[in-house]
Amino acid sequence: MNMKKYKHYKGGIYEFICSATLESDPSIQMIVYRAANGTIWTRPENVFFEEIEHQGQKIPRFALIS
Protein backbone atom coordinates (compact mmCIF):
# COMPACT_ATOMS: atom_id res chain seq x y z
CA MET A 1 0.00 0.00 0.00
CA ASN A 2 1.33 3.44 -0.97
CA MET A 3 0.90 5.80 1.98
CA LYS A 4 0.48 9.53 1.40
CA LYS A 5 3.30 11.66 2.75
CA TYR A 6 3.03 15.23 3.94
CA LYS A 7 5.63 17.85 4.75
CA HIS A 8 4.95 19.98 7.82
CA TYR A 9 5.64 23.67 7.30
CA LYS A 10 8.52 23.40 9.81
CA GLY A 11 10.14 20.69 7.67
CA GLY A 12 9.22 17.27 9.08
CA ILE A 13 7.93 14.53 6.79
CA TYR A 14 4.91 12.56 8.01
CA GLU A 15 3.04 9.55 6.70
CA PHE A 16 -0.77 9.69 6.73
CA ILE A 17 -2.13 6.55 8.40
CA CYS A 18 -5.90 7.11 8.55
CA SER A 19 -8.71 9.35 9.67
CA ALA A 20 -10.69 8.38 12.76
CA THR A 21 -13.72 9.60 14.68
CA LEU A 22 -13.05 11.08 18.11
CA GLU A 23 -14.90 8.82 20.58
CA SER A 24 -15.82 11.62 22.98
CA ASP A 25 -17.21 13.81 20.15
CA PRO A 26 -18.23 11.95 16.98
CA SER A 27 -18.51 15.24 15.08
CA ILE A 28 -14.70 15.57 15.19
CA GLN A 29 -12.61 13.70 12.64
CA MET A 30 -8.99 13.09 13.63
CA ILE A 31 -5.99 12.48 11.38
CA VAL A 32 -3.58 9.77 12.53
CA TYR A 33 -0.06 10.15 11.16
CA ARG A 34 3.46 8.84 11.74
CA ALA A 35 6.74 10.76 12.04
CA ALA A 36 9.98 9.50 10.47
CA ASN A 37 11.10 8.22 13.89
CA GLY A 38 7.96 6.06 14.19
CA THR A 39 6.09 8.26 16.66
CA ILE A 40 2.32 8.25 16.08
CA TRP A 41 0.47 11.57 16.26
CA THR A 42 -3.13 12.74 15.97
CA ARG A 43 -4.63 16.10 15.10
CA PRO A 44 -8.16 17.25 14.34
CA GLU A 45 -8.74 17.04 10.59
CA ASN A 46 -9.58 20.74 10.30
CA VAL A 47 -6.25 21.64 11.98
CA PHE A 48 -4.20 19.14 9.94
CA PHE A 49 -5.50 20.54 6.64
CA GLU A 50 -5.77 24.22 7.59
CA GLU A 51 -3.74 27.03 6.11
CA ILE A 52 -1.60 28.97 8.53
CA GLU A 53 0.27 32.23 8.26
CA HIS A 54 4.04 31.71 8.12
CA GLN A 55 6.53 34.45 7.30
CA GLY A 56 3.71 36.66 6.03
CA GLN A 57 2.25 34.03 3.67
CA LYS A 58 -0.73 31.66 3.89
CA ILE A 59 0.55 28.09 3.49
CA PRO A 60 -0.82 24.64 4.35
CA ARG A 61 0.21 23.32 7.78
CA PHE A 62 0.87 19.97 6.03
CA ALA A 63 1.53 19.92 2.27
CA LEU A 64 1.02 16.71 0.30
CA ILE A 65 4.30 15.52 -1.25
CA SER A 66 3.36 12.01 -2.47
* Domain extent at residue 53: 5-64
Summarize pLDDT for 12-65 with one digit per residue, the tens: 999 999 999 999 999 999 999 999 999 999 999 999 999 999 999 999 999 999
Is residue 1 over pLDDT 70?
Answer: no
CATH number at residue 49: 2.30.30
Cα radius of gyration rounded to whole Å, the chain: 12
- The number of C-alpha atoms within 13 Å of 26 and in the hemisphere containing its C-beta is 0
Residue type, 37: N
pTM, two decimals, is 0.88
Name the domain count of the chain: 1
C-alpha 27 chain-centroid distance: 18
Cα→Cα distances 58→7, 26, 27, 66, Å? 15, 29, 27, 21
